[in-house]
Structure 1
Amino acid sequence: MPTVAGAGPHHAPRGAMAQQVLVLNATYEPINVCSLQRAVVLVLKNKAEVLERAARRLRSATQTHAYPLVIRLVYFVRVPRHESRKISRRAVFARDGYECQYCGAAGHLTMDHVIPRSRGGRSSWDNVVTACAPCNLRKGDRLPAEIDMRPRTSPRPPRPDVFISVAAPRQPNAWRPYLGVQAPA
């Protein structure tokens, strides 16, 4: 496996292969985040091309390679619809902007079933919201209308970029054009 140029012939700096790389589908749609090591393997096997690279380079015993920041698959991959992607607390929190959907608090967050599971509610994107612990406790196993606590926004499947932000909370500037994020002013 290549090492980072300037890091010495035998060892990459600690965490160098833990670097995250944005993966785009053949259609330039962001679909995933992978490790630097996985990205290099995809590029070397001609399964992906490097679109954005860091200034530093990767070296093997005989070659020098680009240090990828963004890669694009050369073939189209069918990605599951966002509605069918697994629900996780981190994805629900990110979708809801890390705020309680009942009072707007940003601390002591939990996941709440709008229609409680004890009342037949499912664990689906359209039935779970972020709630602070006090609101979740106050709502208990009651329906929103019974306690007059309705979520501020209707629960829904998250946008695709939510999964990218959960996988990589800190995103390099090189990713911005591909995620539709505006540069800070």
Structure 2
Amino acid sequence: MTHRSHHKTGEVTRLHGGAASPPGGPRSRTRRRVLLLNATYEPLSAVTIRRAVVLILRGRADMVHADESGGAFHSAATEVPVPTVIRLRNYVRVPYRATVPMTRAALMHRDRFRCGYCGKPATTIDHVVPRSRGGAHNWENCVACCTSCNHRKADRLLSELGWTLRTRPVAPKGRHWGLIAAVKDIDPAWMQYIDAGAA
């Protein structure tokens, strides 16, 4: 099945979809992000699909992983599969940002989507020292939390409940965490590169 988009993307003029097209057709697909790796395979940022395809067409980046749905972009002279991960051909130096902004997505990844109190799958974030009792909204005072523990704990201190944390919450370090903090939905294909960046 072939889909055509009337929304031109610079050098890319048409998108041919795979067996199934996501809700909204080809245009919704172009709103997704592509993981951009440095020449050393270090995660750099998440770029638009349009930007990723242009980098490939201009010879500045290579395809590392393509969308498994089988879609492809077409330019006047070539066809490019819909990318999910690309790598720059030339290494670029990136200023190191020591402070990682705390977002819900990044905190959930830091705690591996597990409750900081009981270890069950986490669905929310909890302030170890409640905000109502002077607790800060930062990496050191927030943990991923399951609904049950969140309701039971409410605005009480751990000492009042006799609870202990599974691990001490700390701010994560590494360039890849800036990427995790900035992207809401991370493609599973990215994780091997993000995990490598954490090593």
* TM-score, with structure 2 as normaliser: 0.65
Identity of paired residues, percent? 38
Matched, 1:49 2:61: yes
Change (3 A) 1:21 1:164: farther
> Which amino acid counterpart does residue 52 of structure 1 have in structure 2?
V
CA displacement, residues 115-164 of structure 1 (integer Å, 9 cap, x when unaligned):
22233321111210012233223323333223211221211234636818
Matched, 1:122 2:141: no
Structure 1: which 5+ runs fail to align? none
* CA distance, structure 2, for counterparts of residue 112 and residue 139 of structure 1: 9
Q: Give the RMSD, CA atoms, in angstroms.
A: 3.4
Residues paired across the two proteins, number: 170
SS in 2 for 1:76: coil
Matched, 1:111 2:122: no
Matched, 1:59 2:71: no
Is the CA contact (8 Å cut-off) linking 2:63 and 2:87 kept in structure 1? yes
CA displacement, residues 6-55 of structure 1 (integer Å, 9 cap, x when unaligned):
89xxxx84544245321113543113222211212444566x41242548
Change (3 A) 1:143 1:19: closer
SS in 1 for 2:46: strand
* CA distance, structure 2, for counterparts of residue 176 and residue 89 of structure 1: 17
Is the CA contact (8 Å cut-off) linking 1:103 and 1:135 kept in structure 2? yes
Q: Which of 106, 129, 134 matches 1:91?
A: 106
The structural deviation recorded for 1:112 is 0.9
SS in 1 for 2:106: helix
SS in 1 for 2:150: helix
* TM-score, with structure 1 as normaliser: 0.69
Matched, 1:34 2:47: yes
Q: Which of 17, 23, 36 matches 1:23?
A: 36
* CA distance, structure 1, for counterparts of residue 115 and residue 156 of structure 2: 17
Structure 2: which 5+ runs fail to align? 1-8, 19-24
* CA distance, structure 2, for counterparts of residue 164 and residue 31 of structure 1: 13
SS in 2 for 1:4: strand
Is the CA contact (8 Å cut-off) linking 1:114 and 1:143 kept in structure 2? yes
2:147 is matched with which residue?
A: 133
